[in-house]
Amino acid sequence: MTANILNGKELALSIRQNLKQQVDALTNKPCLAVVLAGDNEASKIYVKNKLKAAEEIGIETSLFLFDNDVTQAELENLVARLNEDKKINGIMLQLPLPDKIDEKAILNMISPEKDVDGFHPYNIGLLQNNSDNAVIAATPKGIIRLLENANVDFEGKNALVIGRSQIVGKPVAMLLLNKNCTVTVAHSKTKNLENLVAQADILVSACGCPKLIKGSWIKQDAIIVDVGINRIDGKLCGDVDFDSAKEKAKLITPVPGGVGPMTIAMLLENTFLAYKKQNKL
Ligand code: GUN
């Protein structure tokens, strides 16, 4: 890897090692409930990786599997039960849920103290208030941690976020605003994306369009964070054309090995923090 690579794999490993030491010192271990409903192949892989990473650092896990025909009532009953269960510190519903399920209604039911994904409106409100008590969604939190670790200066920088999802685009835009960036959020209806990219000092792309952003579009010495996980002919790639972009970027995340590992590390950190808060540690 060349010098300008933002290595998420390496940072995530050191975060997990640090968490492991802290979990090892506990008599009662944190416990994460993971809910997987439906047969989305990518979700199955993400869940497998999250469970493995949790177990490696001593966080206990409880997996709840449902078919695609799971009902709203079944999922709501489960969340109600997990909210009450003192043994469970964190609840993670892997998204997307099956089509006919009202996703928001279920996410809103999760107790904010156990909402390790930071998707509950209470936690989103705390994020918008720039509160230290906010539980921040794992991917946006991981992106900011990766940039902080590389000593990126945020103040007054033009940050462009491509994508406005609840999971990545909106929260990462808010975090960048809280860091005093001048933030633009682009999305599928945005015009002249290329011109916006040309002005961005910091670019976070989470649009799911393989290799959309070309090296020729980006500003010299820009900082590029690629959240895309796409495939071209079966081969994994991001939203950014890495080979041309890395020649111009000051820092750039690879796919894989950039943001992905940070998401998992931040989920584990959020679970550990939830445990500490619940146990008043
Ligand atoms: N689906 C894609 N990313 C995520 C995530 O960070 N959390 C959950 N719960 N589901 C996801």
Beta bridge partners of 159: 183, 202
Q: What pLDDT score was predicted for residue 3?
A: 60
Beta bridge partners of 231: 236
Cα of 267 to ligand 1 centre, how many Å? 10
Tell which atom from ligand 1 comes closest to the C-alpha of 137.
6
Q: What pLDDT score was predicted for residue 21?
A: 98
221 part of the active site: no
* Residue 145 lies inside a defined structural domain of this protein: yes
The CA-atom distances, in angstroms, between 128 and each of 31, 134, 137, 163, 179 are 28, 9, 13, 18, 12
Distance of alpha carbon 201 from the chain centroid: 21
Both 40 and 109 in a single domain?
yes
Q: Is the distance from the beta carbon of residue 94 to the nearest atom of ligand 1 less than 6 Å?
A: yes
94 part of the active site: yes
Q: What pLDDT score was predicted for residue 2?
A: 55
Both 144 and 254 in a single domain?
yes
Q: What is the DSSP string of 214-268?
A: -GGGSPTT-EEEE---EEETTEEE-SB-HHHHTTT-SEE--SSSSHHHHHHHHHH
Q: What pTM did the predictor assign? A: 0.97
Both 105 and 153 in a single domain?
no
Cα of 97 to ligand 1 centre, how many Å? 10
Residue 161's H or E segment, with its range, is strand 158-162
Nearest to 13 by CA among 138, 146, 144: 146
pLDDT average, residue stretch 139-167: 98
Both 147 and 214 in a single domain?
yes
Both 180 and 228 in a single domain?
yes
- Is residue 133 predicted with pLDDT exceeding 50? yes
Residue of minimum CA distance from atom 8 in ligand 1:
94
Both 105 and 219 in a single domain?
no
Give pLDDT tens digits for 230-250: 999 999 999 999 999 999 999
Both 59 and 146 in a single domain?
no
* Residue 242 lies inside a defined structural domain of this protein: yes
Give pLDDT tens digits for 22-79: 999 999 999 999 999 999 999 999 999 999 999 999 999 999 999 999 999 999 999 9
Cα of 275 to ligand 1 centre, how many Å? 20
Identified catalytic residue from 115, 117, 239, 241: 117
Print the domain residue range for 163: 137-260
Q: Is the distance from the beta carbon of residue 117 to the nearest atom of ligand 1 less than 6 Å?
A: yes
Both 69 and 155 in a single domain?
no
* Residue 41 lies inside a defined structural domain of this protein: yes
| Spatial contact of 218 and 160, defined as CB atoms under 8 Å apart | no
The CATH number of residue 233's host domain is: 3.40.50.720
Mean pLDDT (the chain, rounded) = 97
- Residue whose CB lies within 8 A of the most ligand 1 atoms, among 117, 119, 124, 263, for a mutation test: 117
pLDDT confidence band for 140 (50 / 70 / 90): very high
Q: What's the one-letter identity of residue 221?
A: D
- Is residue 101 predicted with pLDDT exceeding 60? yes
Q: Is the distance from the beta carbon of residue 40 to the nearest atom of ligand 1 less than 6 Å?
A: no
Measured distance between the N- and C-terminal CA atoms of the chain, rounded to whole angstroms = 40
Residue 270's H or E segment, with its range, is helix 259-278
What is the tally of structural domains in the chain? 2
Nearest to 184 by CA among 165, 167, 154, 164: 164
Both 94 and 152 in a single domain?
no
Both 83 and 180 in a single domain?
no
The three-class DSSP label of residue 193 is: helix
The CA-atom distances, in angstroms, between 174 and each of 127, 139, 259 are 7, 13, 18
Give pLDDT tens digits for 175-226: 999 999 999 999 999 999 999 999 999 999 999 999 999 999 999 999 999 9
Q: What pLDDT score was predicted for residue 1?
A: 44
